[in-house]
Amino acid sequence: MIELDFAKGEHGLLPAIVQDSKSRDILMLAYINHEAWKKTLSTGKAHFWSRSRNKIWLKGESSGHVQLVKEIFVDCDQDTVVFTVEQLGGAACHKGYRSCFFRKVDKDELRLIGEKIFNPEDVYGK
Binding site for its own copies (CB under 8 A): 1-2, 10-11, 15, 17, 19, 24, 26, 28-29, 41, 71-77, 80, 82, 93-95, 97, 100-105, 108-110, 113
Please report which helix (H) or strand (E) contains residue 40, including its range. helix 34-43
Residue pair 56/32 in contact by the 8 Å Cβ criterion: no
Q: Rounded to the nearest whole angstrom, what is the least distance from the CB of residue 112 to its own copies in the complex? A: 11
Of 76, 75, 39, 68, give the one whose Cα is nearest residue 56: 39
Q: How far is the CB of 56 from its own copies (least distance, A)?
A: 19
Least separation in angstroms between CB 30 and its own copies: 9
Q: Give CA–CA dist 9/24, Å, rounded.
A: 26
Nearest approach, Cβ of 23 to its own copies (angstroms)? 9
Query: If DSSP states are collapsed to H, E and C, what string results for 9-21?
Result: CHHHCEEEEEEEC
